[in-house]
Structure 1
Amino acid sequence: MILYHSSQQIVEFPEIRLQRYNKDFYFGFYCTNIESQAIRWATRFDGKGFISEYDYVPNNELNIKQFTDMSEEWLDFIVDCRLGKPHNFDIVEGPMANDTIFNYVQDFADKKISREAFWTLAKLNRPTHQISFHSARALATLTFISGREVTNEE
């Protein structure tokens, strides 16, 4: 399977970086199988960026959590991760809480909206995909293919 990583540089050697803010599936190296989504994320700040392309070969010996769609379990998992609760999965895959969805997730986590209101709002967004790698063994499933600069005109 081909995966794409968005960045401000080509990433030949993926690594897990601890950052200031927790992400959907906690700290990890994030990719997507949707090239147009990768381009949108790479160019979101100043209209240009880079995407790196990898060959991903799943390893069934890893501890993998997969969400096929936005579900109650997915929502609770994202809220926990965004609040800083770690997990023990090597790889987590599922829909992405994009900027709009993230605002709904945050409102739900802050108890500003109900669970029912979250689902009503979330249904209005287009499908997304993310897969995050949380261990060295997980990163070993990726083989760098190439990288290129992209613009928001693509």
Structure 2
Amino acid sequence: MDKMIVYHGSKEKVSEPEIRKTRFTKDFSWGFYCTILDEQAIIWATRIDGMGYLNCFEYVPRDDLNIKRFDEISYEWLDFIADCRSGKTHNYDIIEGPMADDTIYNYVEDYLDGTISKEAFMELAKFKKPTHQISFHTIKALSCLTYLESKEVTRDE
């Protein structure tokens, strides 16, 4: 894999990425989350009050890292997200794949609650707009990122 530009949407400029442990775990557990989709990062940055920053980084993969990739929503992806959202941890440095946005996450919750099957989840999820996330879970993983710039962004109404 060649180098690529990744984006981190935030309420503040982020030139030094860090892994923060928060009250709630995310799709791939605690980490520094980015995306290759600038419009998705802008949504993350502006979700609270319509203003934020699009933080841009160059990502250069390293062969010595433990990287997990999900090319699409799958049973394996669903089980992995269910485990992470339930508080389980993993040993990956970097994880890349689709994001469980609000709608998809509601389906994940239904699956976790036992109100829908895996098959029903997949049927509901397949019609959703593609998303992307890449999360960095270790200091070694963060060393693959080089800060480029931060741009102030607003949500288009």
The aligned residue for residue 68 of structure 1 is: 71
In structure 2, stretches of 5+ residues that fail to align are none
Which of 110, 123, 126 is the matching residue for 1:107? 110
Deviations 1:1-36 (A, max 9, x none): 000001100100000000010100000000000001
Q: TM-score, normalised by structure 2?
A: 0.96
Q: 1:147 is matched with which residue: 141, 147, 150?
A: 150
| Deviating 4+ runs (over 3 angstroms) | none
Which one of the candidate residues 12, 37, 40 is aligned to 2:40?
A: 37
Establish whether residue 94 from structure 1 lines up as the match of residue 97 from structure 2. Answer: yes
1:137 aligns with 2:140: yes
Letter in 2 for 1:136: I
* 1:16 and 2:19 correspond: yes
Aligned partner letter, 1:78: I
Instruction: Name the CA distance, whole Å, in 1 between partners of 2:12 and 2:140.
Output: 23
Letter in 2 for 1:33: I
2:127 to 118, 124, 129: 124
**Using the alignment, how far apart are the partners of 2:127 and 2:23 within structure 1?**
29
Identify which range, 23-32 or 118-127, moves more after superposition: 118-127
Q: Which residue of 2 aligns with 1:3?
A: 6
After superposition, the CA RMSD in angstroms is 0.9
- The alignment partner of 1:124 has SS state of coil
Mapped to 2, the partners of 1:125 and 1:48 lie a distance apart of: 26
Q: Are positions 1:52 and 2:42 aligned together?
A: no
d(CA) in 2 for partners of 1:143, 1:40? 22
- 1:78-133 deviations in Å (ceiling 9; x for gaps): 00000000000000000000011011111101112111111111012100000000
Structure 1 segments unaligned to the other structure (5+ residues)? none
Q: How high is the TM-score relative to the length of structure 1?
A: 0.98
Identity %: 58
CA–CA separation in structure 2 for the residues paired with 1:121 and 1:21: 25
Query: Counterpart of 1:65 in structure 2: which amino acid?
Result: K
For residue 38 of structure 1, report the CA deviation from its aligned partner: 0.7
Describe the SS at the equivalent of 1:117: helix
